[in-house]
């Protein structure tokens, strides 16, 4: 494969993954509105298109067409740049996520991954951590006390729960011996569901820690303190309107999808089948390419369903409860999980 062909293939993969990601964001919003409607015994969106399927397109057009109001006292450069940072980091992190079998592609090219790097897990953790700068700068540049409090809350949440989240993944990395996401998935493929890290790798405690930390990292209920409407109006995006507000909204849902992808790769076997090698696949290139994507999407969908279910079930925590839970329970539990995993691996 020539350099030009490789460049064109890479551009095509970036374009396709970006479009799929944006559509995923739009229809994750619809999924949440429909599921929460069902939980609350109401319909949810049902008017625009069959079963309300065109509602995300209408919402997107409405965001573009709404009046864009910029308050006079804001620090304009950072005020305008903050939503770009938040959405950009949320979209970039998907670049290292493998969502299909590696042996499908011309000339050894990984067709279902934009970039295969040996430290893919570190790249995701680093890029998603930078995304909080968008929230922090939005709160500060808005020149609004509620916005500033919301951004400070988000920064404190990130510091508290990023430690527990990162430490929860150390057990998986120790077991796989690599930070490469493909290597981690391939280590869970032999016996199907019994070899997934959440079961066969005895990382169910790590999965629980990751799950709790992910809720706090993405500012989702019951940890949505940075935008608590009963306390801070709308938190860090109080002064934002039109498409700039929509960009923060999109960044939140993009981070949800990324968190679901990482959970699938590290704990749920990635694109591998729950049946492992017990049920051999037919020798058909289409099935061989599409079935792993089906398993991957199904697992991510299950994670998003859990996200929405928790939002429709649990009330918001107080801020002191949130910080206590992170520092006094999740962090020590994550350290104990590392010690236990190390002893188990040494014993084996």
Please list, residue by residue across 51-64, b when 16 or more beta carbons sit within 10 angstroms of its beta carbon and e when fewer do: ebeebbeebbeebe
Write the CA distances from 158 to 133, 235, 313, integer angstroms.
Answer: 10, 16, 23
What is the per-residue pLDDT across 208-242, written as a single tens digit (0 to 9) for each? Answer: 999 998 888 888 878 887 777 666 777 787 888 88
Grade residue 283 by pLDDT with cuts at 50, 70 and 90: low
If you average pLDDT over residues 24-52, what whole number do you get? 88
Q: Which of 198, 162, 200, 171 has the alpha carbon at shortest distance from 336?
A: 171
Mean pLDDT of 28-42: 89
pLDDT score recorded for residue 257 = 92
Using the Cα atoms of residue 247, residue 251, residue 253 and residue 258 in order, give the sign of their dihedral.
positive
Per-residue model confidence (pLDDT) at position 100: 79
The reported pLDDT for the residue numbered 236 is: 80
Q: What is the DSSP letter of 329?
A: I
Please tell me the distance from the alpha carbon of residue 239 to that of residue 83, in angstroms, as a whole number. 12
Q: What is the pLDDT of residues 330-344, one digit of tens each?
A: 999 999 999 998 998
* Strands of 175-229, DSSP E: none
So what's the pLDDT on residue 116?
A: 82
Counting Cα atoms < 13 Å in the Cβ hemisphere of 338 gives 14
The answer to whether residue 201 scores a pLDDT higher than 70 is no
Q: What is the pLDDT of residue 285?
A: 66
């Amino acid at each position: 494969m020539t350099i030009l062909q490789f460049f064109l293939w890479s551009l095509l993969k970036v374009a396709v993954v970006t479009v799929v990601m944006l559509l995923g964001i739009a229809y994750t919003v619809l999924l949440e509105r429909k599921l929460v409607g069902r939980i609350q015994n109401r319909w949810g969106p049902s008017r625009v298109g069959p079963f309300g399927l065109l509602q995300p397109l209408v919402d997107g057009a409405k965001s573009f067409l709404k009046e864009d109001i910029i308050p006079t006292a804001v620090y304009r450069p950072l005020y305008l740049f903050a939503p770009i940072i938040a959405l950009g980091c949320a979209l970039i992190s998907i670049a290292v996520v493998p969502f299909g079998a590696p042996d499908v592609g011309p000339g050894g090219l990984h067709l279902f991954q934009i970039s295969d790097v040996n430290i893919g897990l570190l790249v995701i953790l680093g890029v998603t951590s930078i995304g909080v700068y968008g929230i922090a700068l939005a709160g500060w540049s808005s020149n609004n006390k509620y916005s500033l409090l919301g951004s400070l809350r988000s920064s404190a949440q990130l510091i508290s729960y990023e430690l527990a989240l990162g430490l929860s993944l150390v057990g998986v990395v120790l077991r796989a011996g690599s930070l490469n996401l493909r290597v981690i998935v391939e280590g869970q493929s032999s016996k199907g569901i019994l070899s997934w890290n959440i079961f066969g790798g005895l990382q169910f405690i790590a999965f629980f820690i990751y799950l709790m930390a992910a809720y706090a990292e993405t500012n989702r209920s019951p940890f949505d303190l940075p935008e608590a409407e009963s306390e801070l109006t709308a938190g860090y995006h109080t002064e934002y309107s039109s498409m700039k507000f929509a960009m923060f909204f999109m960044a939140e849902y993009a981070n949800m999808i990324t968190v679901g992808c990482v959970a699938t790769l590290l704990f749920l076997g990635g694109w591998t089948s729950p049946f492992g090698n017990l049920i051999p696949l037919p020798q058909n290139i289409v099935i061989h390419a599409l079935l792993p994507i089906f398993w991957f999407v199904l697992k991510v969908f299950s994670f998003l369903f859990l996200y929405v279910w928790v939002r429709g079930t649990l009330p918001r925590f107080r801020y002191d409860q949130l910080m206590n839970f992170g520092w006094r329970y999740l962090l020590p539990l994550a350290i104990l999980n590392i010690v236990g995993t190390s002893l188990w691996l040494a014993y084996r």
